[in-house]
Structure 1
Amino acid sequence: MTVHVTLPPAARPGLLASVADLAEMEVALGAGADIIDLKNPAEGALGALADTKLRAAVARWRAAGCPTGLSATVGDQPLEAATILAAARRTADTGVPLVKIGFPLPAKGAGAALAPVLDALRPLARETRLIAVLFADQHPDLATLPLFAEAGFHGVMLDTADKAAGGLLAHLQVERLIGFVGEAKAAGMLTGLAGSLKLEDIAPLAALQPHYLGFRGALCVTGRTSGLDPARLGRVREELKGRVTA
């Protein structure tokens, strides 16, 4: 089944809402999230849901007529080719069309460390849409972006690994985020910004015009491991709708 992700208007980032189960997925569907992102927040920044839960979510999404994008994280994995490939293929085999893979890159020699992993992922990138996730609090080398594009990745996101160490803007200045969004778009990739984002982060980040802004904690009752709050989700959605720039 080929699934096409509908991009939001170029000047307005879409809403990526991370959900932990089918009940939260229903809330996100009802709120009109642009991408529903399946993950287990209790297992870390990119904690993975069990295969059975992923398959159930895919079935529900298809039954709803695939009204949104659908992504899933593969778990927090070490930068090791066979391990990452196995986790990515397991997730892709559940039918999720967008597979998010975290890359904990070293401060130096990121390109050399990436090479064997990207080589291993190339065949899978021809079969499904892979999304690379880099971590702002690990000082990512943004010069690696063309390597992901060359390997066939569909998109790239910035997130944070340590959710207790502050949000995205605490780790990367706006100038670097502008460079990230511009370079990723120039390489033809989908772009996203996430990392403990709050309501007040929407205005400065939407001005950079990434394709998506990703949220979890800001949508929840009392933190990212609690349940999704429809009212909070609605406020984030409305704030994003109002951020249409020239």
Structure 2
Amino acid sequence: MTALLASVRSAEEALDAAGAGADLIDLKEPREGALGGVSLDNIWRIARTLRSRHPVKPISATIGDLPPDAIETIAARATEVGETGVDFVKVGVVPGPHARACLTRIAGLQAAVLPVLLCDDGVDAALVEHAVWLRFVGIVFDTAGKTGRTLFDCIDAATLARYIAMIRASGAMACIAGSLGWTQLDGIRALAPDVAGFRTALCENGRISRLDPRRVAQWADALHHAAPGAAA
């Protein structure tokens, strides 16, 4: 079964998503970019509110979109977000000259970091292998641009399948996101990642609009159950 990660920006959205069947609740501010960060105070408040109703529901939070060469700033922000008590801290990693050093730095933090490999221009196997070698709890493949191109437009399914197999063999979670919608459902099911993350597909009218719990429930059902006629 692929777990549904719902990205939310408020306590109200978090409660709606959890109540509608989302398996993981991810805190981010979509107005601030692909991995726009929620303030530390709001992360703490949302997490406290959510855990009062859903005490075992895993929570992640992004650190915000930071320059790829600001490695110490990235590490400091990840530490601060981790200290709010969330289960996972998501850190965007842009492939390029600073990516390997960034991965190495954040792997040494006390927080349970999920590196988010931004695949708009692809991602090479050596970087994925390095992330796997560093023994993160999970690795996310996502896109930075929210212009209609999906993860599957940026990296082919066969390559994703190889990376997912590599990650799983290490014992880590393999996660995908990146403007995914109903058109990509068959591809998601074929890959069967541990987690699939969504924002736009769960909202009433685009990613910065209100999350719709009915859409969350529809996606939870689609991910938690095999397609009709699929082999058991």
TM-score clears 0.5: yes
SS of 2:191's equivalent in the other structure is coil
Range that drifts further, 134-143 or 68-77: 134-143
Contact kept? 1:20, 1:40, Cα under 8 Å: yes
Aligned-pair identity (%): 34
Q: 1:79 aligns with which of 58, 68, 73?
A: 68
Amino acid at match of 2:193: P
Structure 1: runs of 5 or more not aligned? 1-11
SS of 2:74's equivalent in the other structure is helix
Alpha carbons of 1:35 and 1:82: their partners in 2 closer, same or farther (altered >3 Å)? Answer: same
Tell me, in whole angstroms, the C-alpha distance in 2 between the residues paired with 1:144 and 1:235: 34
Range that drifts further, 171-180 or 209-218: 171-180
Tell me how far 1:27 sits from its aligned partner.
0.6
Tell me, in whole angstroms, the C-alpha distance in 1 between the residues paired with 2:100 and 2:112: 19
- Residue in 1 that maps onto 2:103: 118
Q: 2:26 aligns with which of 37, 40, 57?
A: 37
Contact kept? 1:203, 1:243, Cα under 8 Å: no
Tell me how far 1:146 sits from its aligned partner.
2.9
Alpha carbons of 1:115 and 1:56: their partners in 2 closer, same or farther (altered >3 Å)? Answer: same
SS of 2:65's equivalent in the other structure is coil
Tell me, in whole angstroms, the C-alpha distance in 2 between the residues paired with 1:141 and 1:48: 26
Structure 2: runs of 5 or more not aligned? none
Alpha carbons of 1:133 and 1:122: their partners in 2 closer, same or farther (altered >3 Å)? Answer: closer
Contact kept? 2:15, 2:50, Cα under 8 Å: no
SS of 2:210's equivalent in the other structure is coil
Tell me, in whole angstroms, the C-alpha distance in 1 between the residues paired with 2:207 and 2:138: 24
Tell me how far 1:65 sits from its aligned partner.
4.4
Tell me, in whole angstroms, the C-alpha distance in 2 between the residues paired with 1:70 and 1:187: 23
Say whether 1:162 aligns with 2:151: no
**Within-5 A mapping of 1:51-130:** 51-80=40-69, 81-106=71-96, 113-124=98-109, 127-130=110-113
Contact kept? 2:20, 2:214, Cα under 8 Å: no
Q: CA RMSD in A?
A: 1.7
Alpha carbons of 1:232 and 1:65: their partners in 2 closer, same or farther (altered >3 Å)? Answer: closer
**Within-5 A mapping of 1:214-229:** 214-229=197-212
Tell me, in whole angstroms, the C-alpha distance in 2 between the residues paired with 1:13 and 1:63: 25
Amino acid at match of 1:219: L
Range that drifts further, 181-190 or 143-152: 143-152
- Residue in 2 that maps onto 1:209: 192
Tell me how far 1:62 sits from its aligned partner.
2.6
Amino acid at match of 1:116: A
Tell me how far 1:102 sits from its aligned partner.
0.5
Counting matched residue pairs gives 228
